[in-house]
Amino acid sequence: MSVGAKPSMKNGILLVNKPEGVSSARVVDQVKKIFQVKKAGHTGTLDPFATGLLPVALGQATRLSRFFLGSAKQYRAVVTLGVETDTLDKTGKVLSRAGADQLAAIQPEEVQQVVAGFAGVQQQVAPSFSALKHQGQPLYKLARQGKMIKKPPRTIEIHAIRVTAMTLPEFEITVHCSGGTYIRSLAHDMGRLLGCGAHLSGLCRTGVSQFTLDRAHDLDMLQTCDRQTAASHIIPNYCCVFAL
């Protein structure tokens, strides 16, 4: 590229604030239409019920996607005690419910202690309803057929975790973790340690590598603004490298 030339606005990372109820793949399709590009992909899926930061790579920047997949993530999550589901989140089929007396016995100090205990390097079992593959098939597709496959535990690291709000049986946490960490599994494991079961009832991703949610753009805005304005929100390839 010659000195003074502008980088292509069809190559780079677009930070999208994914709304609830939309799949990550659907967001990518919408971005493709907005910018009229053939090549695009997200850098780490968010479940349809989750919201927050979804970096979408355009054009040549898709080569960087794999680096963002393994990068650190930050989340704000809501955990609901007393109910376990097959998906480990609010979208799943209820498998068990704790009794009212059992829930009433849980003290805020106990929740704080359990949450704090998840900091550090540990082994985590991914949900059976996940995009991980078994013999070439995504686990969630097998789970929908009644085949609940459990993959071997994987090493993850929780860099920081804390309770930010609590109105039992719900509490909110913030998590800074390694790539590949399932917050649904965290919620499930917390419930097991507290002896009452739990599921993830809310999730917002607030950070991916050095990118933060406050820099993300709503799909509605991108769809209604002119193309030049929309293109101005794309982070060029060379800037994305420094974020890794």
Instruction: Show the tokens assigned to 92.
Output: 């799943």
Taking alpha carbons only, the member of 56, 70, 58 closest to residue 18 is 56
Q: How far is CA 240 from CA 18, 162, 208, 217, 236, in A?
A: 20, 29, 12, 17, 6
Residues annotated as catalytic are 47
177 and 159 Cβ atoms separated by less than 8 Å: yes
Instruction: Show the tokens assigned to 167.
Output: 């109105």
Neighbours of 55 (CB within 10 A): 26
Q: Which distant-in-sequence residues (6+ apart) come within 8 Å of 94 by Cβ? A: 83, 84, 85
Give the integer Cα–Cα distance in Å for 155 and 180: 9
Q: Which distant-in-sequence residues (6+ apart) come within 8 Å of 143 by Cβ? A: 86, 128, 129, 149
